[in-house]
Amino acid sequence: MTEQQFQTTVRAGDREITVPTGLFLGGKFTSGSESETFAVVDASTGQEFASVASATTSDANTAMDNAAAAQKTWGETSPMERSELLYKIFELIKENTDDLALLQSLELGRALKDSVGEVAYSAEFFRWFSQQAMAITGDYRVAPKGDSRVVVSHQPVGPVLAITPWNFPLAMIARKVAPALAAGCTIVVKPAQMTPLSALYLANLMREAGVPEGVVQILPTKSAKNVSVLLDDDRLRKFTFTGSTEVGQSLASKAMEKTMRVSLELGGNAPFVVLEDADMDKAVSAAMEAKMRGAGQVCIAANRFLVHESLAAEFTQRVVKEVSEMTMGPGVQEGLDVGAMVSEEERDKVRDLVEGAVKEGAKVEHGGVEELENLRETHPDLDPEGFWFPPTVLSGVKPDAEIANTEIFGPVLAIQTFADAEEGLELANNTPFGLAGYVCGENLKETLQFAEKMECGMVAVNRGVLSDASAPFGGVKASGVGREGGFEGISEFLEPRYISLEG
């Protein structure tokens, strides 16, 4: 079969995009060993628009064979060679921004402006790690006793398995593949079932850039177990996962049976704290960025808005005004603020959380389930089969409410109040999770001290965006282990080797 049989042309906005639909296995696009496929759905219509090959356990084992065979040669390539290849991938992603952004908005439902932002963010990982590939250091020094020399070098860990989520179908892969390649590791990627097309498009760009056969392989599948079976393979030396805490912990436990390197980015429950002296313009602007980007389907999205009681009424009024002006529609259309949610299941989870919050005493200030039920009248232009949820603001949320203790993953801004900074900090840290946090305040000393006491791997001060390819991304507590991006990101894929040299 020719590779042309493993591609399709989809229409997104006013463009036609040709995208691979096969497994990227051994440098080629191909069917799965059992020729099974699964559907990719347009979130704005609920209708299938593409069919993608589904990997089997046999395909995963073939990918592992390829990765293991390619590891020695790839690990011995020069830092400059790896650097130049990564930079070429960066350039190709930038050149194909329009296609990649539209493709993401089609399969994910997200507003186009947010997809454009993700493409730029994804590309930066390849640029950043193209530089880090040539900055891997070692050590040479006299041992304290003076009778030997300590020589330390860094070697690639070896073949890697990466499992990525649906909400950032390009960036989560870039954040894992780029440092793996920079370090000299081969990698097998399982993208999310709901959003595989961005990953396969990226695979084609990487091949165009010159990534050798077997170095990167991408295996979409309708059963994650078909690929996670590789955790039983002694040749796999690193596992990196982004997704739910429960699944990540289970897979990490399996990986540790082989004593392999593990890094995890897991669930969150991000607090957004508005201190008594906060600048309201900054706070509202940051809140909208931290919550409504990607319709709230973001792992670091603000989840609990903790507002000083003296500012709560004004803050609520102003965010309601901002939310009421947001436009909703198919993600591939220009000029929209909020697209559809990725699936009916995810939409229904958000609906249930909002319904539960109201039963527990919260007040709907804007949006909510009632507006959802009236969408046919208020938004007749929306396809009723799409997975819509209107931007929503809730006030009076109680700290023990389910919505305050669950990752909402939708466009819902849930507001609580606190009386003083001590109570605000206690509320902020009262969660088993610790991925991201946000705090707004104008007293630099007090605000920075507050940020330093927040039990989060990342904290944004007076701003609603904190992701940066040059900064370490990751959480504490139940939100994960390890870091991606920054100077720290490449070390997750390197093993120090110590040689004791006589004299």
Per residue in 249-269, pLDDT tens? 999 999 999 999 999 999 999
Q: What confidence score (pLDDT) does residue 1 get?
A: 56
- Cα distances from 487 to residues 17, 24, 31, 471, in angstroms, run 35, 29, 38, 7
Q: Render pLDDT for 11-64 as a digit per residue (tens, 0 to 9).
A: 988 889 999 999 999 999 999 999 999 999 999 999 999 999 999 999 999 999
> What residues are paired with 39 via a beta bridge?
51
Residues of the chain above pLDDT 90, percent:
97
Token couple for 248:
């990540």
Question: Dihedrals φ, ψ of 214, to 5°?
Answer: 85, -10
Work out the pLDDT band at 4, boundaries 50, 70, 90: confident
In whole angstroms, give the CA distance from residue 442 to residue 176: 36
The answer to whether 498 and 152 have CB atoms below 8 angstroms apart is yes
- Cα distances from 481 to residues 82, 112, 136, 457, 475, in angstroms, run 27, 32, 22, 10, 7
Q: What is the mean pLDDT of residues 321-338?
A: 95
**Helical (H) or strand (E) element with 67:** helix 57-75
Quick one: how far is CA 6 from the chain centroid? 27
Work out the pLDDT band at 352, boundaries 50, 70, 90: very high
Supply the mean pLDDT for the chain: 96
Predicted model pTM:
0.96
The answer to whether 339 and 109 have CB atoms below 8 angstroms apart is yes
How many CA atoms does the CB half-sphere of 315 hold within 13 Å? 33
DSSP state of 479: T
DSSP annotation string for 219-269: ---S-THHHHGGGG-TT--EEEEES-HHHHHHHHHHHHTTT-EEEEE----
Query: Which residue has tokens 């909402």?
Result: 408
Token couple for 272:
């957004």
Residue 265 is among the residues annotated as catalytic for this protein: yes
In whole angstroms, give the CA distance from residue 87 to residue 222: 32
Q: Render pLDDT for 426-476 as a digit per residue (tens, 0 to 9).
A: 999 999 999 999 999 999 999 999 999 999 999 999 999 999 999 999 999
Token couple for 108:
């994910």
Query: Which residue has tokens 């299941």?
Result: 345
Q: Which of 107, 118, 265, 365 is catalytic?
A: 265
3-state class (DSSP) for residue 151 = strand
Residue 418 clears pLDDT 70, i.e. is over it = yes
Q: Which amino acid does the sequence have at 43? A: A
Q: What confidence score (pLDDT) does residue 41 get?
A: 96
Quick one: how far is CA 176 from the chain centroid? 10
